[in-house]
Structure 1
Amino acid sequence: MPATHRTPESNPPASSTQSPATLARNSRRAVVGIMIVLVGQLMLTLDGTIVNVALPSIGTGLGLGPSSLSWVVNAYTIAFGGLMLTGGRLGDKYGRLRVFLIGLTVFTASSLLGGFAQTPDLLIAARAAQGIGAALAAPGVLALLTTSARDGAARNRALALFAAVGIGGSTLGLLLGGLVTEVGSWRWTLFINVPIGIAVIALAPLFVAETPRDPGRFDLIGALCATGAAVAIVWALTGAPDYGWTSPQTIGCLAAGVVLLAALAVTEPRVANPMLVPSLLCDRRRLGALAVTTLVFGSQIATFFLVVQYLQRALHFGPIAAGAAFLPMTLGIFAMARIAPKLVARFGQAPLLITGTLGLTISYVWLSNIDNSSGYATAVLTPLLINGISAGLTFMPAASLVMGGVDPQHTGSASGLLQTVQQLGGAIGLAVIVSVYAAGAVPGQFVPGARAAFLTTAAFTLLAAILAVLLLRSPQRER
């Protein structure tokens, strides 16, 4: 037999070299580490929606008009979505735990600065800095989860929890944002990040192992192209409802994004250590999972916007009640986080994705029937519960397909890619839905325009189901 070079992946399993007591300690340490990292992810996820509920209070407190107020959200979204790929690659090169902690530090400090902001410019700058910190930290979360799991079953459970935190945290952000805004001040939507961030920064190095560094050169050209493309596209999408889809700003930004993506596609195969490894985009099932993720995230973010508007404007719910109204969705997502790994092990990813996207479509069609005489219990509660269960069936299998089969040294890039399409999907969904809604809207009323908007979200997820059937089916079930 020829001699074989032994890598960390080819070492004998831990069970053959460690005592049961040592294995138990390592297992507990890994579980604690995973939970700490997930708390960091929850904080980043909450920030995507917790500030949204406080926007009217922020506008009153700082004298911001509607157009300026939108930048409190857009500044975070553009920085977060634009730098995600770069953040993932930095983690691969310099150590994922190191970059994760740097990102959380920037995010936490920016939250403190934003909470004390006395001018609109300072608040918007702090929100942009939060987005930069989140873009550095978020890709490391999924990469650390997948590399910390001791086996495939633990990895699937970690992915399910990540998926639940990703979308469930958004609904919790609505509830928490309403609570702290009504009880205290809009500033606490930012201050609340500070103790959580400090705790995660202090505890993560004690329980989470650093990953090996990539000794190759950093792909600066690829980073500039990837970041520029993502920023241009997100900028165009966030501004499209205000400036119009055919405006020079929207078309120019989209065109710049396409040109930069083309430059990225040309340069990456010729670089020794590319920003985005081309092989990540050569797998049909991974591409299908990315497409499904984009469409589903777009539908979910749009649903948050539409349902919150309906609850507050048509049913006259306060901020706390509007946030609490999403609890059925949250409970459905977290319940499926426990079941989805077992279902994936039994049936594979594709059947769950198809079932989940069809369930989401049903929930949106149901919501499209709301009118001024509808009530929460009859028109909203059940579809939100169906939505949560269906989303729980969708996100974990999609993440599993994207991260499956990725070389350990490229998990940060794969994680950055997954979360970039999530951000792009959210921006696309919100831009399209707001435009559709505005086309049929009547001043002072919510329901006109809502039916077409909800049916558009249903079209998103129906298309995702079709893609799941066409792109993800294979003769042999994915284990």
Structure 2
Amino acid sequence: LQGAGAALVMPLAMAILSGAFGREERARALGIFSGITGCALIIGPAIGGFITEHLGWRWIFWINLPIGLVAIALVMARLRESFGAPAPLDVIGLMLVALAALALVWGLLRGNSVGWASAEVTGALIAGVALAVVFVLWEMRAASPMVPMRLFAAKPFASGMAASVLFYAAMYGVLFLLPQFLQIALGFDAFGAGLRLVPWTATLFVTAPIAGAAVNRFGERTLVVTGLLMQAIGVGWISEIVSPAVSYSALVAPLVLAGVGVSMAMPAAQNAVLSAVAVSEMGKASGIFNMGRFLGGMFGIAALVASFSANGAADSSGHFSSGFVAAMSLAATLSLAGAVAGLFLPTRRRVVATTATPQDA
């Protein structure tokens, strides 16, 4: 139910925001949106760690109730109703993509425990790939597709989506394992580990609004490629220095570098995807972007956990560090692949203020 609720809210939030602003203002608005999201990333781990340490982990779910009630009140009071074009629900497409994701993640998570050559894992991975292919074929012929494949013919949309899936895979994978490294290998408690994520997560709150405003000046490609190269360098740097004896202070600089990088890339990629479609299709484009975001995050966590399990274990700080090194190396590779995908974003010509008429512009 939580997942279904989030799946309803996130795409609509981006679509409403994007539709409320013109092309030249949209990137700045999305940057502020990413900054607010970054604020949640800042306070979430720290508050979650405090609650877990003092009240128990079950209490972290209760915090969603007052937040939800406040959000409902604000929506009822401030948000005007709007409707898209009527279309039937693509139930078959929904089932195909859900089953494909389940099969692929199942295979990734079970590989180390039952063997990568086992019938269970190979069967799950083959089934996942096959279902994904069937999903694409179905979407190409469906009367009202959940994911219109024609959108991927636009280079900004396809490149922005590819870069986003890859950098979210790296980011969510690191976000899953890094707090555990701080607790198991370096010995911090849950609250202390959450606080020590701030040099990384706080960069999103600070950098994303600035990056959103800079999109119109430098273009999406420059920010996406530069940002993901910074993330790759930062995460790769961590993989090179991490050990049970590493001091937390040695991790601060690479965490800031990686955080600033992904904070630059995030609003630029969002803007590239949403600006590639008509206003009437921003709802679907936002839904596709968020589906790619969470599927990328899901696969990133599964892949990094698989890499961790193949090279280490959680039974000691030394074994955990060995697995963490391998996982961070994979995260750096995913970030680098995202930068390569960003190279295919088209170059935006900088708009120079002149006395030209609207027709000339």
Whether TM exceeds 0.5 here: the answer is: yes
CA 1:303–1:234 in structure 2 vs 1: closer, same or farther (change >3 Å)? same
SS of residue paired to 1:215: coil
Where structure 1 has 5 or more consecutive residues not aligned to the other structure, the ranges are 1-128
Task: Tell me what 2:321 maps to.
Answer: 447
Residue identity opposite 1:328 in structure 2: P
Which of residues 345, 348, 351 in structure 2 aligns to 1:472?
A: 345
Alpha-carbon distance between aligned partners in 1 of 2:310 and 2:51, rounded to the nearest angstrom = 34
Which of residues 60, 71, 87 in structure 2 aligns to 1:189?
A: 60
Residue identity opposite 2:303 in structure 1: V
Q: How does 1:65-80 map to 2 (within 5 A)?
A: none
Residue identity opposite 1:455 in structure 2: S
Residue identity opposite 1:204 in structure 2: V
Identity over aligned pairs, percent? 33
Q: How does 1:156-305 map to 2 (within 5 A)?
A: 156-166=27-37, 169-305=40-176
Where structure 2 has 5 or more consecutive residues not aligned to the other structure, the ranges are 352-361
Task: Tell me what 2:12 maps to.
Answer: 140
Matched-pair contact (CA < 8 Å) for 2:107–2:120: yes
Could you say what the CA RMSD is over the residues aligned between the two structures, in angstroms?
2.3
Residue identity opposite 2:299 in structure 1: I
Offset of 1:462 from its aligned partner?
1.4
SS of residue paired to 1:217: coil
Q: How does 1:10-409 map to 2 (within 5 A)?
A: 129-149=1-21, 151-166=22-37, 169-368=40-239, 369-377=241-249, 379-409=250-280
Alpha-carbon distance between aligned partners in 2 of 1:327 and 1:266, rounded to the nearest angstrom = 43
Offset of 1:185 from its aligned partner?
2.8
CA 1:144–1:246 in structure 2 vs 1: closer, same or farther (change >3 Å)? farther
CA 1:271–1:438 in structure 2 vs 1: closer, same or farther (change >3 Å)? closer
Task: Tell me what 1:460 maps to.
Answer: 334
SS of residue paired to 1:371: coil
Matched-pair contact (CA < 8 Å) for 2:173–2:297: yes
Offset of 1:153 from its aligned partner?
4.3
Alpha-carbon distance between aligned partners in 1 of 2:327 and 2:89, rounded to the nearest angstrom = 43
Offset of 1:202 from its aligned partner?
2.0
* Deviations 1:314-335, CA, capped at 9 Å, x for gaps: 2211111100001111221111
Alpha-carbon distance between aligned partners in 1 of 2:137 and 2:50, rounded to the nearest angstrom = 49
How many residue pairs match? The answer is: 347
Q: Could you tell me the TM-score, scaled by structure 2's length?
A: 0.88
* Deviations 1:359-404, CA, capped at 9 Å, x for gaps: 1111112211122322111x21111111211111011111111111
Residue identity opposite 2:17 in structure 1: L
CA 1:228–1:348 in structure 2 vs 1: closer, same or farther (change >3 Å)? same
Residue identity opposite 1:262 in structure 2: V
Alpha-carbon distance between aligned partners in 1 of 2:31 and 2:104, rounded to the nearest angstrom = 29
SS of residue paired to 2:245: coil
Alpha-carbon distance between aligned partners in 2 of 1:173 and 1:243, rounded to the nearest angstrom = 34
Matched-pair contact (CA < 8 Å) for 1:241–1:431: no
Offset of 1:228 from its aligned partner?
3.0
SS of residue paired to 1:373: coil
Q: Could you tell me the TM-score, scaled by structure 1's length?
A: 0.67
Residue identity opposite 1:211 in structure 2: S
CA 1:279–1:153 in structure 2 vs 1: closer, same or farther (change >3 Å)? same
Alpha-carbon distance between aligned partners in 1 of 2:310 and 2:102, rounded to the nearest angstrom = 27
CA 1:222–1:447 in structure 2 vs 1: closer, same or farther (change >3 Å)? closer
Offset of 1:412 from its aligned partner?
2.2
Alpha-carbon distance between aligned partners in 2 of 1:234 and 1:157, rounded to the nearest angstrom = 35
CA 1:212–1:440 in structure 2 vs 1: closer, same or farther (change >3 Å)? closer
Offset of 1:238 from its aligned partner?
4.3
Which of residues 430, 442, 445 in structure 1 aligns to 2:301?
A: 430
CA 1:269–1:451 in structure 2 vs 1: closer, same or farther (change >3 Å)? closer
SS of residue paired to 2:230: helix
Alpha-carbon distance between aligned partners in 2 of 1:321 and 1:441, rounded to the nearest angstrom = 24
Task: Tell me what 1:123 maps to.
Answer: none
Matched-pair contact (CA < 8 Å) for 1:240–1:431: no
Matched-pair contact (CA < 8 Å) for 1:349–1:478: no
Residue identity opposite 1:279 in structure 2: R
Residue identity opposite 2:10 in structure 1: A
SS of residue paired to 1:290: helix
SS of residue paired to 1:380: helix
Offset of 1:249 from its aligned partner?
3.2
Residue identity opposite 2:272 in structure 1: L
CA 1:144–1:251 in structure 2 vs 1: closer, same or farther (change >3 Å)? farther
Matched-pair contact (CA < 8 Å) for 1:237–1:427: no
Matched-pair contact (CA < 8 Å) for 2:23–2:275: no
CA 1:352–1:186 in structure 2 vs 1: closer, same or farther (change >3 Å)? same
Offset of 1:294 from its aligned partner?
1.4
Residue identity opposite 1:449 in structure 2: G
* Deviations 1:28-50, CA, capped at 9 Å, x for gaps: xxxxxxxxxxxxxxxxxxxxxxx
Matched-pair contact (CA < 8 Å) for 1:153–1:341: no
Alpha-carbon distance between aligned partners in 1 of 2:66 and 2:287, rounded to the nearest angstrom = 26
Task: Tell me what 1:52 maps to.
Answer: none
